[in-house]
Structure formats: structure tokens, C-alpha cells
Structure 1
Amino acid sequence: MHHFDVILVFVVIVFILISLYKELMGAAFTFFIAVVVLGIFGVLTPSEILAGFANEQIAVILMLLLLGDAIRQISVIEIFFNKIFPRSSGQKAFLARIMLWIGGFSAFLNNTPLVAVMMPYVHTWSKRNNVSPSKILMPLSYAAILGGCVTLIGTSTNLIVNGMVVDQTIFPDMEPLHMFDFFWVGFPMLIIGFLYLFFFSDKLLPNRVPIIDDVTVSDRKYLVEALIRSKSKLVGKTITESGLGSEKGLFLAEVVRDNYTFQVIDKDFILKSGDILRFAGESEDIVNLLSDGSGLTLPNVGMMTKLKRADVIEVVISHNSTLISKTVQEVNFRGRLDSSLLAIHRNGERISGKLEDIKLKAGDVLLLLAGDNFTEVSKGNMDFYLISKVKEVRKPELYKIWTLFGGTLLAIFLSALNIIPLFMGLIVVLILINLLNVVNAKDLPKSLDYNLAVIIALSLALGTAMIKTGVADMIADFLISIFFPHGNLAVLFGIYAVTSVLAAYITNKAAVAIVFPISLTAAYNLGLNPLPFALVVSFAAAANFITPIGYQTNLMVYGPGGYSFKDFFRLGWPLTIIYMIVTVLILNYMYL
């Protein structure tokens, strides 16, 4: 083997490490430059560079991301979380539910959209219960990571390693990784991790006001009316028992019963069917009433609650508006603007009387539930100005939920039984959801992470170069010389430690690309079963807790939680050590 090729591969690896650590350029472009250099100097052939793009696991990863985005689009997880997470509970109970459900879901669904959906719930719950989100958000991320390590499809890292197993040539008879090869380490660590976070996260995490509170919190309070339906579970309960006093983030200002208004409301006040409750609250809290299951309805919304899709928007009445001095009922938002009035804000002024009888003034801010035709019919309208779109509200249809969830779970189940490949199962599900119009086929490709596909494909090419030039052999022999005198267990510990540190500071995908060929070569040189050497790299890269940049979900909660790097290290370092010990001991016991 040419000495120049060996030196060049080492230089390329150093370049990747420095570029990713210093954030000199994006990960995809870093790998692109590295692989192109190897191609220019003949270390890799064009077919070897492009081979990764034909890897089945890359397609599986992208299809799982598409299905995850489809689940997000139909809002079914959001509705499900509304049901399973109690509005009022203690911090420990809320934390336990979050970790159990997110950990369980993450074993079979992409954990990034799960964390994205849960973050607003955590933030809202924390505000209602006077708990810092910094006490909850990091455990949320860690639970998603722990759950993702339980199965092959729980995290893209596992699928990347499987792609490398399929492409490797050192062990020609080595089978691809199976769905539950990860279970024997992942599930025990899910339980251990849950217990660690449950008992120690509150002590180790700071009590911080998140940055988002400093820049986005508005003091704009809206007036909104809600009617207690006859079958509501609130009927017969006191204000205290119902939790309506404050737990929804809304302040109960008045109760109207039989045209009489109760303005001073005792906590023992008993609610009755037909009561109209007047709340003061912010836009997000009011939107939550639309999907609330407590038996409250917004009387002004009417049939618009039946819409499959609507937007909640804020508008302000202009000074030359024709709506000024008209009552809400006279304006007829439904017929005139394909919208319904949810709530009204009048610059701190107390508004009294029924919402439909309020006369609009210039400067009033209205919260509207707008249908599909709102944009068209309001074009050129000078009666109001659009301030912002607060939220998109979707009402998922039952057949869409069953097609998407049932199809995805069936594909995973059939793959686990080795009846059909996961690749084919997911393709069928994607075809079905497009044919049945479960999601908009034009919108679906927008959620594809092309950078991820490029990084994975080019990292496979880098692994080929390391094996082809003997660099993987050299590094493997060096690691063996250090750790082998202490036994096979020490070799696994060494590989885990190197992978974990690299993953923490240059991303887990890059760590896998560099360490996987080294680990497999070490197994070959030692004459050992390659499976634990593949799995140890996967666990070390995926179970990444010690920095925010090591895993996507950590990065997502980094800013909103007001965390520092030290916070991740303080909570994540002990968990990383525990994970390493458990992983190595179990893999050694089962396979070596």
C-alpha cells in the first residue's frame, strides 16, 4: 500500500475532526471535500464514492423521516399527548409520564419530531405550575435518546451502522443487524436511565428562566368565552375541582348564568350546564381550548370546529375600518371572512358583556379561526391588518390515522419477523398515504433531510478508504496494543470511549464513519465475533448525553431550556459512564 495514500487518509480524518469541531463549514460540505480529495488522488474510485447513495439503509432513514413528518402534519400525536398528559400534576409525576411515553415511542418513531411536539407542552406546563422548563427539557431529550437505542429503527445512528455492516467486506458472512439486536442493551438502559433521571435530574439541573421567556412572552391578554356543555365532566364540580382557576394558563374572570354575571368567583362555586365562562389569557392558551377534552366549547366558533384544517391568526382593526362601532354579531365573520372570532384584546381595557355584543374599536386585536378562503376574501381588505399566524389547527380523519400509524407499525412488525424487508414495507406505506391523500404529496418531499443522506453516503465512502488503505488496520492495532493486554472487555471499553468522545464533539454520524471500520478491523485481527464490535460503536454514538451538539434533540432543548455546556456535562457524564459499563458488560457476556 502506498505510503502517500495512508498519509492522505490521516490528513483527511484530521481535517474532518478540526472542521466539525471548529464548525468551519457544514458537516455535509466537510465530508464532500474530504471524499472529493480522496477521489482526486485515486484513493477512491468514482463507483466507490457513489456506492453509499445506493445503500438501502439511507433510503430507510429518509422514508422514516418522511413518515415522521406525515404524523406531525396530521397532528395526531399532539392530540394523543393532550389525552395522556395531565394538565395538573406534580413535577415528578409529569416528568415520569414524559420519559415513559417518549422513551417508548422513540423506539419505533423518529425521536426528533417527538421532542419537537413535546417542547411546547413542557413549556406551557412549566409556566402553569411555576416550574423552570430547564428541569424537564433535558430529561425529555435524554428519554428520547434512550428509547431510540432500543431498536434498529429507533435512531438514524443504528441504521447508519447497519448500512456499514451491509457494505463492509471484512466479514463476508456477517448478517445485517436485526430489529431487536439492540434490545438486550437498549431496554435495560431505558429502565436504568429512567430511574437515574427520575431521582437525580432535579438535583443536578439548574433552575433557570429560559431565553425564550425573555424575548417572546407577550402581556397581551385576550377575552374569550367558553360554554359548559350538558355532557361536560365539569358539571357539578367546584372551581377548585375543575382546575379552571389557573391550570389552563387562563384566568377565570367571570361566569354568566341565566343572564346574571358573577364577577367575584369563590373557589367553591359549583359549575352548571349552560354556564358561560369568561377567561383572560394569551393566544396560545386560548388555542388549546379548541382541542381541549374537558367539555368546554367556544360558542362563537360554531361549525368551524368541523373544519379539517384552519389557521388561528391575530389581526388588528384599522383606524378607517368599516367594522368600527359594529358588534361582533353584526360583523358576521363567518359569512363575510370565512372565519370565527375566538377572542378579543383591547389594550388593557376591561371588556364586559357578551362577546357577540361587544362593539369593535380601532386598535382592537382579534384572535380569529380562519378557514381556507380567508386569505382570498380578505385580499385588499383595509378593515384590519394581519399581525401573525399563531397556529395551524388540523382535525385528523380516522382513516388517515389508521393508514399512517397502522401501516407503519405493520411494516415494522413484518420486518421484525423477517417476512418482508423494512425498505419494501415503508415504500408501500408511503404509496398508500399518497393515494389516500393522508398528506399532501407535494409537501412531503420538503421534509427530506438531504444533508443527512449526503453525510451518511459519503461517510460510507470514507470507511471504504480507511479499510482500503490500511489506516483502519493501523489504528485498530494501536488500540489493541493499548487495551488487549487487559482483555477483550478492555478493547470494547476503549472503542466505546473513543466513539463517545468523538460523537460528543463532532456529531455521532462522523464518529461512526471514523470508528466503525477501526472497530470491525479490531474484531477481525483478534479473531472475535464482529457483532458486538458493530453494536458497541452504535450505542456509543447514539447514547450521547454529555454535550448539546452530540445529538439533534440535545441541540433542540439547548436554547429553550437556558442550558450551558456544563449543564449537559453535569447530568450527562454519569449517565454516559453507566451506559458504557452496562453496554460493554452485556455485549461481552452475550457474544464474547
Structure 2
Amino acid sequence: MLDFDSILVLLVILFIIVSLFFDIVGAGFTFVIAITTLSAFRVITPADVLSGFANEQIMNIIMLLLLGDVFRRTTVLDIFFDKVFKYAKTPKHFMFRMMTVVAPLSAFLNNTPLVAILIPYIHNWSKKNKTPVSRLLMPLSFAAILGGSATLIGTSTNMIVNGLVVDQVIVPNLKPLEIFDFAYVGVPMVFIGIIYMMLVGDKLLPNKIDFIDVNSNAKRDYLFELQIKNGSDFIGVQRSKVPFLKNEGFILVEVLRNGTLYQQIDHNFIFEEDDIMTFAGNKKRIADLINADKNLVIPSIGMFSKRKSSEVIEIVISHKSGMIGKKIKQENFRGDYDATVLAIHRNGENLTGEIANVELRAGDALLLMTGNQFDRLSKASNEFYTISKIKEIKRLGIFRTFVLIAGILLVITLNVIGVGKLFTGLLVLLIITQLLKIVKPKDLAKSVDYQLALIIALSLALGLAMIKTGVADMLANGVLYLFEPMGKYGMLVGIYIITSILAAFITNKAAVAIVFPISLSIALQLGVDTTPYILVVAYAAAAFNNNLHDCYCTNS
């Protein structure tokens, strides 16, 4: 006979499933309501609720996310990916390079910022090579999920499971998972997954039109310039044979050569040194072009390209601005605002000629590349309004790059050999990033996912409530009844299916919180090793990683 506490826990679990499935109040608030209800009826104590926030794994997850964001904000991975994808000629070749690089990186770096960094490369390469972007985004998602399942720190889901292991009271003296406990199944699955995608999956990938790109191509608003550098491979080459111009992210409008403007640029047009090419394109594509090709340079940048830190921002000239009626070259943006003009947009008018000679009007939108002093110098200015920040560019230099990469490798190595704790190592490394000014403290603080931390901590409290009330044992008996005739392997398959279904319809974090105590209770009742029953929950939840689906649409 179920008592009141058990019935309440079952109702709370049902509420969580329904609320997350229909997205009634959001994931974070759903768990707040659920755990507050359990605490109000004294199913769990306030100490039980708060114990999750003291779990070491939560801080490890947050610090790994912060380190991933540090890599995203710097150019470390950008430089690496530039070299990796430079010589990929076919979609299959690109996919192979991408998957063999992303999978091992995802095993040690959080896959969310990793995927965020890679998406622009995939979009640009697919445009240039006339390949549907969906054929590359899905393999990116698969590689990130497979790689993340190979180690303890590969995904936050794995670390949540380890947090549940630490906090559980079902099996006395149960040891926490080690960093490579996942590798025995995870690493072979990475190889199998890559081989499958290359031989079979490639034929099943969709050919979807990228509606985002169609939209952005219809808005080729900004006018910007690129100059052919001394020694460029483009010198003496016909337009039809310049690979850079095959990119669909922008249109070549005209070419300025020794004061002469060429507006009819046919396929036989031959480029010369110092030619200034004027393009029309969207603002994000322009920001990506900074230092993107060794053959070209944005004329207005100059020494800005050597700065350790800069930003690309969008401004609009105000109606009371003293810049109105003046040419861009007459305004001392560099001296007055620590900035330089990259591009200009004017509604309802096609601009021609050299950008520096364009007379500014009220409402003109400009893309600026700014230095560290821009905010201070422009704060009191009424000349323009800052609309948005398009891109942040950070160049670490050899020493700081070495410290960042060597630091993360050292932390992982010390943890593997049992010399240092992951928590301590990550904390020290984050402090070093601050001391070396690799990233600003305020930017790091903005990167903290407070909702994720809240969900994880309260998930641990939910698991504790299921154990204390006997609900975990009761549900475990139900699963045993269904799958025990299939043997111990059939039982693992059953747990995998249940976790996968829950993860597909609610969040994988919630699925883990619900299924973990049930799976552990089953292992205890069967009298078998608990490790497979712990790992199967993590593998199933990671296979339905809703974070990648929701954030990047790589599974849709």
C-alpha cells in the first residue's frame, strides 16, 4: 500500500514529465515547483534540497562550460580549424575531417561551445562548395554526441550521473566514476559511428535548403572592401578561377584600380596587385572575413589586425551628428574613438566608389572594428548610437595559447593518474586565465549557466526523494517484471529504452534524475555489478542530447 509521501513523489514525477513535455513553465521553474512541493510536505528536508548545490560535480560542470567559453572567445580553436579544413575538397572529405576532429575534442571540451565555433566554418564551406548545409550539420551533431559519451567530462549528463553516484544511499561505499570508465564502450562507438557515417549514413543525409542563408542573401546590405595584397595568389588570375569569389555569402560589386572604377566584372576580368574589390554582404559574414584569407586584406584595418583584443560592432549615425555631410575619411574614427570603419549600409540607395569617400548621412549604419578604448571614448558621444556587437576577436599569442592548452591537458592528466582533483585543477586554470587576462572577469561571469546548475542540483534532490520514499524500489520492481525474462542484457536494453524515451520527450537531465535511482535499485536487487547499470543511463541520455537539437538544430 502506497503511503502519502510515495504518492506525492509519483505525482511530482508526473508533473515534471508533463510540464517539460508541453513546456508549461520552463525546465528550471518546473524543478523549483517540484522540489518546493516535496520540501513543503516534508518528504525531503531543506538540507536534502540544498545538498545538491554542494555536489562537486555541479561545479565541475560549470567550470568546464566556462573553459569551453574561454576557448570560444579566443582564436585558439579558430586557427586549428582553419588548418584542418583548409584542404577539404569534397563533402565526404570535409565530413571525415570534421568527425575525426570533433569527436576527440568533445571528449574533453564541452560540446556546446565547440559546435558554436564550428557552425560558421560549416556554413561557409557549404556555400563555397554548393553543398546543402544539413548534410554537414547532422554529422557534426553525431560526432559531438559520440565523442562526449567517451569520457566522464565529455558531457554534463555524464557528470550529473556521477553526481548522483556520489549522493546516492542505495549502495553503501559506491565509488565515483573515473574519467575513462565511459571509454570502454564510448571509444569503439566513436569509430563505429564515423565508419557508419562514411559508408552508409552519408547516403541518408537530407538535402535541406538553408532558409537562414536564403534570408541573409536577400539582405546584402553592407558595402565593404577587400584589397589584393602584395604576393597574393590572385594576382594575374581571372575572376572565374578565384575560389574565394565562389562564396555565396557576398557579391562582388565593383573593382577600383589606380583611381579607375570597374563596375562590369565579367568572368574574364584579371585581377592585379592593390586592386580594391567592393562587395555587398551581411554583417556577420564581413566580421568572419577579418584575417580569413592570406591573399586579401581589409584596407581600413591597418594595425588593428595586430591587436590582441578587438571587436566588430554596428552603429547608426544620429540625426544630430556632426558627421553628417562629411566623408568617412574626413572623420578621425581611429583617433577619436579607437575604431576604424569596415563597411557601410544606407537604406534605399546603392552606394558606389571607395567607401572612404562616401558622405555620411543620418541613419547610415556602419560596421566598426574597435579597440579597448572605444567604450570609454564613445560613452559621452551623441554622434552615433551603438546597435550591437557582431564579433569579439582575441589573439592570445604563443605563450598564453600554450598555457591554455597545456593547462587543460595537465588538469586531465593529473586527474587520470589520481594526483589531483578535477575540481581543484579547473579552478586553478580559471584563475590563471584571469591573471593572464585571457578573458575578462565580467565576460566569464556572463557565461555561467545558472539554470543548468539549478536543474542539476534539484535533480539530485528528486533522486534522494525517490530513494527515501521507496518509489525507486517500487518502479524498479515494475521494470524487473517487464524485462527480467530477457536476462541481464535484456534488462540493460530495457533501461536504455526507458531513458531514451524520457530524454527524447523531456530533458536528458530530468530523464537521468528519474531513471538513475531505478536503475541502481535494479542492479542491487539482481545482485550484479552496478557499473553497467549506471553507464547505460548516461549513454541513453546522451544519445538524445536535446541541448544540441535545441541550440543548433543539427538534428532537424
Q: Do both proteins adopt the same fold according to a TM-score greater than 0.5, normalized to the shorter chain?
A: yes
1:88-127 deviation per Cα after TM superposition (whole angstroms, max 9, x unaligned): 7433333333323222211110011112222333334334
The alpha-carbon deviation at position 65 of structure 1 amounts to 1.2
Aligned: 1:6 with 2:6 = yes
Q: Is the 8 A contact 2:165 2:176 kept in 1?
A: yes
Q: Is the 8 A contact 1:225 1:277 kept in 2?
A: yes
Amino acid at match of 1:299: P
Q: Is the alpha carbon distance of 1:239 and 1:518 closer, same or farther for their aligned partners in structure 2, counting shifts above 3 Å?
A: same
Alignment of 1:405-554 (within 5 A): 405-544=405-544, 550-554=545-549
Distance between the aligned counterparts of 2:548 and 2:6, measured in 1?
36
Amino acid at match of 2:366: L
The alpha-carbon deviation at position 432 of structure 1 amounts to 1.4
Distance between the aligned counterparts of 1:202 and 1:397, measured in 2?
39
Q: Is the alpha carbon distance of 1:321 and 1:519 closer, same or farther for their aligned partners in structure 2, counting shifts above 3 Å?
A: closer
Amino acid at match of 1:84: V
Distance between the aligned counterparts of 1:299 and 1:213, measured in 2?
27
Alignment of 1:204-243 (within 5 A): 204-213=204-213, 218-235=218-235, 238-243=238-243
Q: Is the 8 A contact 1:460 1:513 kept in 2?
A: yes
Distance between the aligned counterparts of 1:141 and 1:121, measured in 2?
14
The alpha-carbon deviation at position 448 of structure 1 amounts to 1.4
1:489-548 deviation per Cα after TM superposition (whole angstroms, max 9, x unaligned): 11111111111111111111111111111111111111111111111111011111xxxx
Secondary structure at the counterpart of residue 42 of structure 1 = coil
Aligned to 1:555: 550
Q: Is the 8 A contact 1:87 1:125 kept in 2?
A: no
The alpha-carbon deviation at position 23 of structure 1 amounts to 1.9
Aligned: 1:17 with 2:40 = no
Aligned to 1:579: none
Distance between the aligned counterparts of 1:16 and 1:285, measured in 2?
42
The alpha-carbon deviation at position 57 of structure 1 amounts to 1.0
Greater alpha carbon shift after TM alignment, 521-530 vs 100-109: 100-109
Q: Is the alpha carbon distance of 1:183 and 1:346 closer, same or farther for their aligned partners in structure 2, counting shifts above 3 Å?
A: same
Secondary structure at the counterpart of residue 300 of structure 2 = coil
Q: Which runs of 5+ in 1 are unaligned?
A: 545-549, 562-566, 569-592
Aligned to 2:399: 399
Aligned residues: 556
Aligned to 1:143: 143
1:112-162 deviation per Cα after TM superposition (whole angstroms, max 9, x unaligned): 111222233333433444443333323322221111101110001111111
Aligned to 1:580: none
Secondary structure at the counterpart of residue 340 of structure 1 = strand
Q: Is the alpha carbon distance of 1:418 and 1:231 closer, same or farther for their aligned partners in structure 2, counting shifts above 3 Å?
A: farther
Amino acid at match of 1:553: L
Q: Is the alpha carbon distance of 1:169 and 1:321 closer, same or farther for their aligned partners in structure 2, counting shifts above 3 Å?
A: closer
Distance between the aligned counterparts of 1:278 and 1:87, measured in 2?
27
Q: Is the alpha carbon distance of 1:417 and 1:380 closer, same or farther for their aligned partners in structure 2, counting shifts above 3 Å?
A: closer
The alpha-carbon deviation at position 201 of structure 1 amounts to 5.0
Q: Is the alpha carbon distance of 1:326 and 1:156 closer, same or farther for their aligned partners in structure 2, counting shifts above 3 Å?
A: same
Q: Is the 8 A contact 1:287 1:312 kept in 2?
A: yes
Q: Is the alpha carbon distance of 1:289 and 1:521 closer, same or farther for their aligned partners in structure 2, counting shifts above 3 Å?
A: same
Aligned: 1:50 with 2:50 = yes
The alpha-carbon deviation at position 207 of structure 1 amounts to 3.6
Greater alpha carbon shift after TM alignment, 38-47 vs 174-183: 38-47
Distance between the aligned counterparts of 1:52 and 1:316, measured in 2?
48
Q: Is the 8 A contact 1:467 1:473 kept in 2?
A: yes
TM-score, length-normalised on structure 1? 0.84
The alpha-carbon deviation at position 445 of structure 1 amounts to 2.1
The alpha-carbon deviation at position 255 of structure 1 amounts to 4.5
Greater alpha carbon shift after TM alignment, 492-501 vs 93-102: 93-102
1:242-269 deviation per Cα after TM superposition (whole angstroms, max 9, x unaligned): 4132227333444555556655556566
Distance between the aligned counterparts of 2:410 and 2:449, measured in 1?
24
Amino acid at match of 1:301: I
Q: Is the alpha carbon distance of 1:309 and 1:487 closer, same or farther for their aligned partners in structure 2, counting shifts above 3 Å?
A: same
Aligned to 1:310: 310
Alignment of 1:76-475 (within 5 A): 76-86=76-86, 89-199=89-199, 201=201, 203-213=203-213, 218-235=218-235, 238-247=238-247, 249-257=249-257, 264-265=264-265, 267=267, 271-316=271-316, 322-323=322-323, 326-345=326-345, 353-360=353-360, 364-378=364-378, 384=384, 386=386, 388-475=388-475
The alpha-carbon deviation at position 360 of structure 1 amounts to 4.7
Secondary structure at the counterpart of residue 341 of structure 1 = strand
Q: Is the alpha carbon distance of 1:268 and 1:457 closer, same or farther for their aligned partners in structure 2, counting shifts above 3 Å?
A: same
Greater alpha carbon shift after TM alignment, 379-388 vs 165-174: 379-388
Q: Is the alpha carbon distance of 1:323 and 1:436 closer, same or farther for their aligned partners in structure 2, counting shifts above 3 Å?
A: closer
Q: Is the 8 A contact 2:217 2:249 kept in 1?
A: no
Distance between the aligned counterparts of 2:45 and 2:360, measured in 1?
72
The alpha-carbon deviation at position 296 of structure 1 amounts to 1.6
The alpha-carbon deviation at position 426 of structure 1 amounts to 0.8
Greater alpha carbon shift after TM alignment, 424-433 vs 326-335: 326-335
1:279-316 deviation per Cα after TM superposition (whole angstroms, max 9, x unaligned): 34333332222121323222222122233333323445
Among all aligned residue pairs of Structure 1 and Structure 2, give the percentage whose two residues are the same amino acid. Answer: 49
Q: Is the 8 A contact 2:217 2:250 kept in 1?
A: no
Aligned: 1:29 with 2:24 = no
Distance between the aligned counterparts of 2:455 and 2:300, measured in 1?
51
Q: Is the alpha carbon distance of 1:390 and 1:455 closer, same or farther for their aligned partners in structure 2, counting shifts above 3 Å?
A: closer
Distance between the aligned counterparts of 1:430 and 1:319, measured in 2?
45
Q: Is the alpha carbon distance of 1:437 and 1:333 closer, same or farther for their aligned partners in structure 2, counting shifts above 3 Å?
A: closer
Amino acid at match of 1:281: G
Distance between the aligned counterparts of 2:285 and 2:38, measured in 1?
55
The alpha-carbon deviation at position 486 of structure 1 amounts to 2.0
Q: Which runs of 5+ in 2 are unaligned?
A: none
1:364-383 deviation per Cα after TM superposition (whole angstroms, max 9, x unaligned): 54332233444454456565
Distance between the aligned counterparts of 2:506 and 2:353, measured in 1?
60
Q: Is the 8 A contact 1:170 1:521 kept in 2?
A: yes
Greater alpha carbon shift after TM alignment, 235-244 vs 64-73: 235-244
TM-score, length-normalised on structure 2? 0.90
Q: Is the 8 A contact 2:291 2:305 kept in 1?
A: no
Distance between the aligned counterparts of 1:64 and 1:434, measured in 2?
15
The alpha-carbon deviation at position 481 of structure 1 amounts to 2.4
Q: Is the 8 A contact 1:237 1:270 kept in 2?
A: yes
Q: Is the alpha carbon distance of 1:21 and 1:232 closer, same or farther for their aligned partners in structure 2, counting shifts above 3 Å?
A: same
Distance between the aligned counterparts of 2:253 and 2:144, measured in 1?
39
The alpha-carbon deviation at position 204 of structure 1 amounts to 4.2
